[in-house]
Structures are given as structure tokens and as C-alpha cells.
Amino acid sequence: MNLLKTEAAYKKRYDVLTKKKVVKYQGFIKCIFYLLGFKKEDICVDGSQLLFWKKARHLWNDKLIDKMKNYKI
């Protein structure tokens, strides 16, 4: 996880994702959020389980990196 904060190339790839209107691997991204404790209401379309990227992308930031780093199984 330190690579996402220290290496410029990794940081750029991580940060550019929030500027995308459509993302691939939505199921994988949803799993990341769920494993880190986010609620369905924070990342999905109301009343469904479809990832709502316009809502979820605001959570894709440095705080998410910290949560990934501190995640315990």
C-alpha cells in the first residue's frame, strides 16, 4: 500500500480513476468497498446492488488507501 502513496506512477493510476465516467471490474471495486466496511447505500444505486460510480468515486481517495493498509483479516 505504500506504493500507492510513494510511487508517482501508481499514484497517478489510482487518482485518474476518479475522473472516469465508466469503470471496468465493478464487482471487484464493490468488493473492495464492502471489505473495508462501506455500506451498500454509500456505493450502490438506491434499491439495488449496482455500483453507482458517480457516488462511489468520491470515496476513492487517500482515506481508502489508509483503510486498505490497516485492513485486518
pLDDT digits (tens, 9 = 90+) for 33-49: 999 999 999 999 999 99
14 has pLDDT over 80: yes
- CA dist 5 to 36, 47, 57, 64, Å? 18, 35, 18, 11
* Residue numbers of the domain that contains 16: 2-70
Number of domains in the chain: 1
Distance CA 61, CA 15 (A): 7
What's the pTM?
0.85
21 has pLDDT over 70: yes
73 has pLDDT over 70: yes
CB neighbour list of residue 51: distance below 8 Å, 6 or more residues apart:
23, 26, 27, 29, 30, 43, 44, 45
Fill in the amino acid letter for 15.
D
